[in-house]
Every structure is written in C-alpha cells, then in structure tokens.
Amino acid sequence: MLEPQFGDLTHVEGGFTTPLGRFGANWTTFQGGYSIQWSFPGGTVGTVILPGQEGAPLTVSDANGREMGTQYGATDGVVVLEGQGSTGSLKVTY
C-alpha cells in the first residue's frame, strides 16, 4: 500500500528490495496538488491511496497529462486505486 502523508515535506523518495523485487515510490507537492510515482514487482498487487482535501474533487492525470476519467469525488478526502505490479505516475490537483 502506498499512502503519502505530506505534513510539511515537499518531496519524499524511498524504497526497499525483497525476494519478490524492488518496491519504490516518490512524491512532490506543488501549489494545488502533487505528483506521485511508484514501482512494484510483477506478480504483486498494490493499492495507492491518493490524499485530497475533504469535500474537494480530485482531478487525476496520468504521466502523459491525460485525465483519468472524470473528477474523483473524494468526500472522505481520499481516492483508492488498485492494480497489478507495475510502474506508474499520477498528477493530482484539487
């Protein structure tokens, strides 16, 4: 599970290696949102929890700037995405 906790930090990068492979992630905040990148080994399943601002819809864009569907309604302040082992990156604005 990848769930950023921003606090007063503007950038974080970390990772670790297991017998399954390398898990890694980083994020950077900017005015009105953040970008997040991750990688995890094939054969694994992961969850990315995208923090938002309570009651504010999130706009989630892929690495090419394409919006992923419509705005996500983050009534509880988070959006949960699940997927198979892969690399990925998103830009989130609110």
4 domain residue, yes or no? no
Write down the pLDDT at residue 10: 96
33 domain residue, yes or no? yes
How many structural domains compose the chain? 1
86 domain residue, yes or no? yes
Range of the domain at 27: 11-93
* d(C-alpha 65, C-alpha 77), whole Å: 22
The CATH number covering residue 62 comes to 2.60.420.10
22 domain residue, yes or no? yes
Percent of the chain scored above 70 by pLDDT?
77
Question: What is the pLDDT averaged over residues 62-80?
Answer: 63
Of 38, 49, 51, the residue nearest 85 (C-alpha): 38
Question: What is the pLDDT averaged over residues 21-32?
Answer: 94
Between 84 and 70, the more confident residue is 84
The answer, yes or no, to whether residue 49 has pLDDT greater than 70, is yes
29 domain residue, yes or no? yes
Write down the pLDDT at residue 26: 96
3 domain residue, yes or no? no
Instruction: Please report the DSSP string for 23-71 in residue order.
Output: EEEEEEEETTEEEEEEE--TT-EEEEEEE--TTPPBEEE-TTS-B-SS-
